[in-house]
Amino acid sequence: MKSRLIDILKGKFLVSEDAVKNWRFILFASALAVLMIASSHSVDKKVHQIARLNDEVKELKSEYVDTRATMQQMKLESAIMARLKDRGVKQSETPPRKIVIAGRN
C-alpha cells in the first residue's frame, strides 16, 4: 500500500508499460475539465446579460409610465386651452350643434 502511494507520487504510472491507457484517461479528464470551465464561463456571461436586460426593461417600463402620464396631462382640455391661449384661440361660447341631413340614418 505504501509502495503504491509512493509510486503514484513519483509518477511511475505515467512511464510504465501500460502508460498509454493512463495518458488517454488524463487527456480525457483534462478535456472534460476544460469543457466544464468553458460552460461555467458561458453561464456566468448569460446570467450577467439577463441581469443587464432586466435592468433595462425596468428602466424602459418606468420611462413608459412617465411618458404616458405626461401625454395624459397634455391631452386635458385645460392644458390644450392654455397652450392655444398664446395663439389667440379661445373656447367658443356657443355649444356646437348637430347637423342632421334628411333621408339619412
Report the chain (105 residues): mean pLDDT per 10 consecutive residues. Answer: 78 74 87 97 98 98 97 90 86 87 75
pTM higher than 0.75:
no
Specify whether the CB–CB gap between 3 and 11 falls below 8 A.
no
DSSP state of 14: G
Distance between CA atoms of residues 7 and 14, nearest Å: 10
49-68 CB burial, b ≥16 within 10 A, e <16: eeeeeeeeeeeeeeeeeeee
Specify whether the CB–CB gap between 13 and 22 falls below 8 A.
yes
Confidence at residue 92, expressed as pLDDT on a 0 to 100 scale: 83
